[in-house]
A and B are shown apart, each in its own frame.
Chain A
Amino acid sequence: MLKLFKYNWLRNSTIFYATITVLLLLQAALIIADSYWENIDGLILGLSVFVFSIGALILFTQICSTYNINLKSYNRRLLPVAPIKEIGALVLLQIIYVLIMTALIVIVNLILLPKISFVDMELIRNFFDSPSLVIFTFVSGIWFAVSILVFIMLAIAIAACFKTKNRVWIGITAFIIIVALTGYISELLFGAGVSAGIELTTGEAGFKLLTPGDKLMGLSGEIAYDVILMLLALFAMTYLMNKKIEL
């Protein structure tokens, strides 16, 4: 899997380095701009978030595109390697991109946020003072990023089973159906309310982790559901890559 990861990394490295360089230059420009024009704090913060979002989107799209290319590449399809390793190599790339982007967001915001007049730094300190909150946020972020990637990869794999011109639309339709169906079943099983999240409270409490009974164990049903969905998606992708997708 690591060997496949290496070649996925090499294929994407130019775009990755270009994206990170442009992103850092723009963030640096925003930090400098904020020092000169203090009355546009809101705009600067908004632009900073926008630039990070675009950067993350470019890298995410790149991973999805790599999977699509790999499914159609002779050099990948001929390898004596289980499809799950091909999928795992891209999931690993996604996790590494998330880690790098998180590190950049933290570094930039350590410099930028203290300059923004309306940001309550005490609230942010409270957040980082609570390890469970930080870990929960981080793990949720990684899980979300991996889940969304796996479901998009499943949609790409479904589309790749067809040889028609309209398979892009087949992929998009498949993704919408997967998301709608899993969301609907989740709602049936666990209700519509958000059962886990971070609650922002006023006063001394600041942030707090909101779970049923304030215990993560209360989420075991939803966690199990998410894990089962992920395993089913991986199984379906492996099956399609082994039996249905042809060159």
Chain B
Amino acid sequence: MKPLLEFRDVVKKYGAKSAVDHVSFQIQPGKIVGLLGSNGSGKSTMMKMAAGITHPSSGQVLIDGTGVGIKTKAITSFMPDSTLTDEWMRVKDAIAFYQDNYADFDSSKAKDMLEFMKLNNQDRVNTLSKGMKERLQLTLTLSRNAKLYMLDEPIGGVDPVARGKILDAIVEYYNEESSIIVSTHLLQDIERIFDEVILVKNGKLLLQDEVENIRINKKKSIDELFKEVYAEC
């Protein structure tokens, strides 16, 4: 089967420092993958390269067999850790922006998600709390019928209620024929949704495996493995 996302010996350097260091992996369709690592381990950089807003210093990033570019942006839905909306926008403007600019945007899904997330169309984006902003970002990202979804720290800095709501939405609204990559270092609540995890540390790939294999072979939960690997970070 053709991988949905493939990193081939990817390096990303900022000056002399390698943010991503000779990383290679593949992600198959239909998986929820956790991209795990401590702060500064290269998770966001890897997602940004796949989203086409940062470029590898060497190596190749392929999405559905194609090098990252306009075509792959059309099938990739990325939720960054920064805002996806403009300050002047209301919730309805943000929805309209996505509807106007993405052919795969599903308006009825967006409407359902807005209700599920308890977001009001008339609310100004810049008056929303951090948790509500995260909910809006997730609504925009998951309302597309993309092949690959990438969520960068979707539960970072939000309260446990919002966190639960966001995780429920991910499971409820993601398209099962596509894959979803979630980067995080907060594992307690989220590990239940992963099929597979990728562990990165200092820009290097440490491990890629099915969650079940890790539980059976290492006899550890993902959270315990994470704490062990990143103990000294």
Q: Which residues of A contact B (CB under 8 A)?
A: 3-4, 6-7, 10-11, 14, 73-75, 77-82, 163, 242-244, 246-247
From DSSP, what is the main secondary structure of chain A's interface residues?
helix
CB pairs A–B below 8 angstroms (16 shown): A4-B101, A6-B100, A14-B88, A73-B86, A74-B53, A74-B78, A74-B83, A75-B84, A75-B97, A77-B53, A78-B53, A78-B84, A246-B48, A246-B53, A247-B53, A247-B82
Give the complex CA separation of A155 and B207 in angstroms: 43
B55 proximal to A (CB < 8 A) = yes
Contact indicator A78/B51 (Cβ below 8 Å): yes
Contact indicator B78/A78 (Cβ below 8 Å): yes
Chain B, residues 66-79, CB within 8 Å of chain A (1/0): the string is: 00011101100010
Contact indicator A80/B73 (Cβ below 8 Å): yes
Chain A residues with CB below 8 A from B78, complex form: 74, 78
Chain A residues with CB below 8 A from B183, complex form: none
Chain B, residues 196-223, CB within 8 Å of chain A (1/0): the string is: 0000000000000000000000000000
Contact indicator A75/B85 (Cβ below 8 Å): yes
Give the complex CA separation of A192 and B48 in angstroms: 49
B52 proximal to A (CB < 8 A) = yes
Chain B, residues 147-188, CB within 8 Å of chain A (1/0): the string is: 000000000000000000000000000000000000000000
- Our pick among B14, B52, B97 for the contact of A7 (Cβ within 8 Å) is B97
- Our pick among A10, A163, A244 for the contact of B93 (Cβ within 8 Å) is A10
Q: State how many angstroms separate the Cβ of B136 from the closest Cβ of chain A.
A: 12
Q: State how many angstroms separate the Cβ of A29 from the closest Cβ of chain B.
A: 30
Chain B residues with CB below 8 A from A244, complex form: 55
The 8 closest A-B pairs by CB, nearest first: A80-B74, A80-B73, A246-B54, A247-B53, A3-B100, A77-B53, A80-B70, A74-B80
Contact indicator A78/B54 (Cβ below 8 Å): no
Give the complex CA separation of A10 and B74 in angstroms: 24
Contact indicator B86/A75 (Cβ below 8 Å): yes
Kindly list 13 other residue pairs between chains A and B, CB separation below 8 angstroms, not including A10-B93, A78-B53, A81-B101: A3-B101, A4-B101, A7-B100, A10-B88, A11-B88, A75-B84, A75-B86, A77-B52, A78-B51, A79-B101, A163-B14, A246-B48, A247-B54
